[in-house]
Structure 1
Amino acid sequence: MLNKLRDWSRVAIAALATGGALAGCASSTHVVATDKPGTYTVAASATGGRMAWARAHGEALNEAREYCERRGMQSSINVETVSGVEMLTTHGSSVNFECHPKF
């Protein structure tokens, strides 16, 4: 019985460690000006798990928001392109945005 409990605890620890690795984190590119004046783009990606797209999406939106806020403005998302739909693959989000004055 004790050996079975040890085996089960090893499996549980391995599953938790794997799950933590799958959760991953998101990373983004630098904001880049597009060929349309006043329009910028930024891309983000995340790997693993069901919520990878949500992390990539959030990271891209945060980068756009922070970029505009550093200029005393607010962001306005024009277009978002997403990629990756399967678990354990890289999911991506690319947003084109503009910065507008705060009212």
Structure 2
Amino acid sequence: MQQIFEGTARLASAASRSLPKALVCVAAACAVLAGCASAGDVTAADKQGTFVVSASATGGRLAWARAHKRAVSEATDYCESRGMQTSLGMEHTEGIEALQQQASVIRFECHPKT
């Protein structure tokens, strides 16, 4: 009976030492699946006063939303840095599968603040 108790105690001790490692691995996997969005530089479009910015994201069903949010944020930052406000135009999206890279390309203009 003593052997069974010692074996169980060693097993419980090993499990308690590996639990923090397992939790770190689970957290890292969740972070990878959540993904981040990255954006390219704002560039001038073919029409004067119109600009284009693109952003992409991977990982999960909400990747398109993260790409869209990042592109809108880049456009807003671009206009605000010039003391203007953003006027969003057309948006083009790419990627439809959940684990595929999702992209958002937004055309926008900067207008004086009212």
Q: TM-score surpassing 0.5?
A: yes
Superposition TM-score, scaled by structure 1 size: 0.85
Higher helix share: 2
For 2:100 and 2:35, how far apart are their aligned partners in 1?
11
Matches within 5 A, 1:73-88: 73-88=84-99
Superposition TM-score, scaled by structure 2 size: 0.77
Question: Which range moved further: 72-81 or 14-23?
Answer: 14-23
Displacement of 1:88: 1.4
**Does residue 43 in structure 1 map to residue 51 in structure 2?**
no
Displacement of 1:85: 1.7
Displacement of 1:49: 1.1
- Deviation track 1:25-54 (CA, whole Å, cap 9, x = no partner) reads 110000000110000000000010111111
C-alpha RMSD of matched pairs (Å): 2.0
> What stretches of structure 1 move > 3 A for 4+ residues in a row?
9-16
Unaligned runs of 5+ in 1: none
**Does residue 60 in structure 1 map to residue 76 in structure 2?**
no
Amino acid at match of 1:31: V
Percent of pairs with identical residues:
51
Higher strand share: 1
Unaligned runs of 5+ in 2: 1-7
